[in-house]
């Protein structure tokens, strides 16, 4: 395993005295002395059935009511949770988990290995957009009440990470056949969804689980997650003191957020830039030439784009692996400088001295100014852009695939997860299934290597991808989560929304 530092240390969080710690507004102390954490999210869950669940900005809705098998921490480690221990066989194709024997669901059903196995298989066969994480799972067995054995067709260095996310959510088996599973979840998590006080799609209310097995991470008596439709709604909630923590959709109003006495907690989870999808030249032959792809990288004033589009809130880069990755190399952040003349020279060498035309999709959600600036900078080196707005089909058309290149914001996953997401021939964001024998060999070395080999080959892969210009990143954009003066939180290096357990009242 690489990127994540897997550890078998027990999860221990010091309990805090809650009464009176939270301040006024959404996170105030109620009349009975109870405390409420009120959060603002940018999207709501489409279902509470773990087999159809997602992560990212939808994570807190699930994390409140369900536990995961393993726990991702702000320090970048993987810790025990419902599984207290784990081990692989010699070739990393059989993972054995030890399951806690002191956990009950909110319907009083007891957790055991068979329940875990059922949940894992439901996710594999379910409707979650992340069900593909389990494509390599050949079998899941529960030989006894506290042991789960997962057999993989080949090593998957990201598998433990998956178990900290939606694939690792565990629900009561009594809920599997319930007609209300999408709206009335039954888990073993720190909170229980109050369906009577919840307005689906708008506001979700939770109460503290009185029988929770890990009370040290229950820092509040009640939890409310409100869905804030846009940046204006988020800013209004902050200024009105109607929340304790709010996920900011963008960085446009950071000055006003901080002026309201709030703290901006930042991470760099996503990169933004051009995806050069058609590297094989299937529909745009020019992109099969590395010189054209390199020219595209030299065409962009990344620092200027960062200032113009993100007010400088981010870090210029030409690599897609994040700083927390074993593959990361600081020298690759500025491998391509802004050099329009160099771009023109490369295009001429490749036979495109008279320029070329690229088809790209556009989306209002990603900002009109973005597309204008991209078009201007490409025009400066002789590349014309023809935009098409697919509307709600933006992602579907991109992955169909219908476009050779596109501006996009993508999550920088942990190493192997990123490889399977963006680089491998079967990756979601490699829709033309581009391959390269050097990349194929490096991926094999990573998949089957020990930790030292994985780290070494990941660095080699990253450098090769940059040299071959498989992508044209602009910058790692700052993700911002705002907290009020009464609340602290630690952000995660691998998810847009902090973990429920990492919010605490100041006191």
Element (H, E) at 437: helix 437-448
> Which DSSP letter does residue 242 get?
-
> Which DSSP letter does residue 31 get?
T
pLDDT digits (tens, 9 = 90+) for 138-158: 999 999 999 999 999 999 999
Strands (E), 312-412: 314-316, 356-361, 383-388, 405-411
Q: Which of 29, 24, 503 is nearest to 265 (CA)?
A: 503
DSSP string, 155-192: --TTHHHHTTSGGGEEB-GGGTT-TTTTTS--BSSSEE
Same domain, 116 and 83: yes
Same domain, 299 and 251: no
Same domain, 367 and 433: yes
Which residue has 């900011």 as its token pair? 248
Same domain, 291 and 357: yes
pLDDT digits (tens, 9 = 90+) for 408-460: 999 898 899 999 999 999 999 999 999 999 999 999 999 999 999 999 999 99
pLDDT digits (tens, 9 = 90+) for 24-71: 344 554 445 689 999 999 999 999 999 999 999 999 999 999 999 999
Same domain, 407 and 438: yes
* 388 contacts 396 by C-beta, under 8 angstroms: no
Domain limits for position 40: 5-262+484-505
Mean pLDDT of 455-469: 98
Same domain, 168 and 101: yes
Cα(25)–Cα(230) distance, integer angstroms: 20
Cα(75)–Cα(100) distance, integer angstroms: 24
* 132 contacts 394 by C-beta, under 8 angstroms: no
pLDDT at 367: 81
pLDDT at 75: 93
Per-residue CA distances from 178 to 171, 172, 183, 501 (Å): 12, 11, 10, 28
* 319 contacts 473 by C-beta, under 8 angstroms: yes
Cα(133)–Cα(126) distance, integer angstroms: 12
Per-residue CA distances from 199 to 237, 281, 436 (Å): 18, 49, 50
* 189 contacts 63 by C-beta, under 8 angstroms: yes
Mean pLDDT of 203-216: 98
Mean pLDDT of 10-28: 32
Q: Residue 173 — very low, low, confident or very high, per pLDDT cuts 50/70/90?
A: very high
- Rounded to 5 degrees, φ, ψ at 52 are -120, 15
Cis peptide before 401 (omega within 30 of 0): yes
Same domain, 239 and 350: no
Helix, strand and coil in the chain, % to nearest 5: 35, 25, 45
Cα(3)–Cα(78) distance, integer angstroms: 10
* 176 contacts 126 by C-beta, under 8 angstroms: no
Same domain, 474 and 497: no
Which residue has 């990212």 as its token pair? 56
- How many Cβ atoms sit within 10 Å of the Cβ of residue 453? 13
Chain-centroid distance of CA 367 in Å reads 21
Number of domains in the chain: 2
Which residue has 């869950």 as its token pair? 45
Same domain, 279 and 404: yes
pLDDT digits (tens, 9 = 90+) for 215-241: 999 999 999 999 998 889 999 999 999
Whether pLDDT at 8 is above 90: no
Same domain, 179 and 161: yes
Element (H, E) at 208: strand 203-208
Same domain, 359 and 501: no
pLDDT at 34: 85
- Give the chain's mean pLDDT: 92
> Which DSSP letter does residue 327 get?
T
* 302 contacts 316 by C-beta, under 8 angstroms: yes
Cα(151)–Cα(142) distance, integer angstroms: 12
Pull the structure tokens for residue 430.
């490699």
Pull the structure tokens for residue 293.
């792809």
pLDDT at 250: 87
Whether pLDDT at 177 is above 80: yes
DSSP string, 58-116: GHHHHHHH-EESEEE-TTSEEEESSEEEEEE-TTS-EEEEEEPSS-B-TTSPBP-HHHH
Beta bridge partners of 411: 270
- The fraction of the chain above a pLDDT of 90, given in percent, is 89
pLDDT at 366: 83
Q: Is the dihedral of CA 74, 407, 458, 128 positive or negative?
A: positive
Q: Which of 179, 227, 224, 298 is nearest to 26 (CA)?
A: 224
CATH code (residue 448):
3.10.105.10
Kindly give the interhelix angle for 437-448 and 451-467, rounded to the nearest 10 degrees: 160
Same domain, 220 and 287: no
pLDDT digits (tens, 9 = 90+) for 104-143: 999 999 999 999 999 999 999 999 989 999 999 999 999 9
CATH code (residue 128):
3.40.190.10
Q: Residue 385 — very low, low, confident or very high, per pLDDT cuts 50/70/90?
A: very high
Q: Residue 200 — very low, low, confident or very high, per pLDDT cuts 50/70/90?
A: very high
pLDDT at 131: 94
């Amino acid at each position: 395993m690489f990127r994540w530092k897997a550890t078998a240390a027990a999860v221990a969080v010091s309990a805090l005295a809650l009464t009176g710690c939270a301040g006024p507004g959404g996170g105030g102390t109620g009349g009975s002395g109870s405390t409420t954490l009120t959060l603002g999210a940018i999207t709501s869950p489409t279902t509470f059935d773990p087999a159809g669940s997602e992560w990212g900005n939808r994570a807190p809705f699930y994390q409140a009511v369900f536990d995961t098998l393993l726990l991702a921490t702000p320090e970048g480690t993987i810790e025990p949770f419902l599984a207290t221990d784990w081990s692989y066989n010699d070739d990393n194709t059989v993972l054995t988990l030890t399951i806690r024997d002191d956990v009950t669901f909110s319907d009083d059903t007891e957790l055991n290995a068979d329940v875990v196995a059922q949940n894992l298989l439901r996710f594999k066969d379910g409707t979650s957009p992340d069900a593909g994480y389990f494509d390599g799972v050949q079998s899941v067995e529960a030989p006894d009440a506290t042991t789960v054995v997962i057999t993989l067709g080949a090593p998957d260095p990201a598998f433990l990470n998956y178990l900290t996310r939606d694939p690792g959510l565990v629900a009561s088996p009594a809920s599997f056949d319930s007609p209300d599973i999408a709206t009335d979840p039954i888990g073993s998590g720190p909170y229980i969804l109050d369906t009577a006080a919840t307005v689906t799609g708008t506001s979700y209310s939770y109460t503290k689980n009185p029988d929770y097995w890990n009370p040290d991470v229950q820092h509040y008596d009640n939890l409310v997650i409100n869905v804030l439709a846009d940046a204006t709604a988020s800013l209004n909630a902050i200024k009105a003191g109607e929340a304790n923590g709010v996920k900011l959709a963008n960085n446009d109003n950071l000055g006003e957020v901080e002026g309201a006495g709030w703290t901006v907690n930042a991470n760099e989870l996503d990169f933004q830039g051009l995806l050069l999808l058609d590297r094989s030249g299937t529909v745009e032959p020019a992109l099969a030439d590395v010189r054209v792809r390199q020219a595209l990288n030299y065409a962009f004033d990344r620092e200027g784009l960062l200032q113009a589009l993100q007010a400088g809130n981010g870090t210029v880069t030409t690599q897609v692996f994040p700083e927390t990755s074993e593959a990361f190399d600081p020298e690759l952040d500025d491998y391509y400088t802004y050099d329009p003349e160099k771009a023109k020279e490369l295009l001429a060498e490749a036979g495109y001295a008279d320029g070329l035309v690229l088809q790209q999709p556009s989306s209002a959600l990603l900002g009109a100014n973005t597309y204008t600036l991209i078009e201007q900078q490409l025009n400066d080196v002789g590349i014309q852009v023809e935009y098409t707005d697919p509307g709600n089909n933006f992602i579907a058309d991109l992955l169909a695939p219908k476009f050779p290149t596109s501006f996009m914001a993508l999550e920088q996953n942990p190493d192997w997860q990123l490889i399977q997401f963006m680089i491998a021939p079967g990756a979601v964001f490699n829709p033309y299934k581009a391959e390269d024998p050097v990349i194929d060999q490096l991926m094999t070395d990573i998949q089957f290597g020990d930790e030292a080999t994985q780290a070494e080959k990941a660095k080699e892969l990253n450098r090769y991808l940059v040299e071959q210009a498989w992508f044209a990143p602009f910058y790692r954009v700052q993700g911002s989560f705002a907290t009020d003066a009464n609340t602290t939180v630690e952000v995660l290096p691998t998810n847009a929304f902090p973990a429920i357990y990492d919010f605490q009242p100041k006191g």
